[in-house]
Amino acid sequence: MLVYVLHGPNLNLLGSREPDVYGRLTLEEINRALVALGDELGVDVRCFQSNAEAELIDLLHEAGRKAGAVVFNPAAFTHYSYALRDAVAAVGLPVVEVHLSNVHAREEFRRNSVITPVAAGQISGLGLDSYLLGLRAVVARAFEREGS
């Protein structure tokens, strides 16, 4: 089974960007850890980063056709992109929304996600673990769907 991991805008700067908020890991290191855990769980993990809402929509549509589950960090789009929300709702897959930082402990606007209501769930505040646990969660859900 294929799992898509989608990283939203500005995450390409991870490691150098505001390290007290986002940590010192680079995106590449996160991706490597996800692929490794994928191997362990028996799934093929493919990671994509984009600053473009439209590309993320296209990737969600593509995941709908090719993959069995999605781990999605919408970054700043979390708070306003109803287009991504509709894409998540349109795709018939388990999607877990993840955030590196605890979005509930920062600026007020970060507390609202327009996407979570149509996702399977949300994991936030656990750094790299947000992604790894997110991967475990969607894989479990996807296998369950396959089995049923």
- Residues serving a catalytic function are 22, 99
Nearest to 20 by CA among 117, 106, 94, 114: 106
Q: Does 17 bind a copy of itself (CB under 8 A)?
A: yes
Q: Does 26 bind a copy of itself (CB under 8 A)?
A: no
Q: Which of 2, 29, 136, 143 binds a copy of itself (CB under 8 A)?
A: 136
Q: Does 36 bind a copy of itself (CB under 8 A)?
A: no
Q: Which of 2, 13, 25, 37 binds a copy of itself (CB under 8 A)?
A: 13
How far CA 92 is from CA of 9, 68, 87, 105, in Å, comes to 24, 9, 10, 31
Q: Which of 24, 55, 66, 145 binds a copy of itself (CB under 8 A)?
A: 55
Q: How far apart are CA 74 and CA 110, in angstroms?
A: 12
Q: How far apart are CA 147 and CA 139, in angstroms?
A: 12
Q: How far apart are CA 39 and CA 130, in angstroms?
A: 18
**Binding interface with a copy of itself (CB under 8 A):** 8-10, 12-13, 17-18, 50-55, 57-58, 61, 75-77, 79-83, 85-87, 89-90, 96, 102, 104-105, 109, 111-114, 116-126, 129-130, 133, 136-137, 140-141
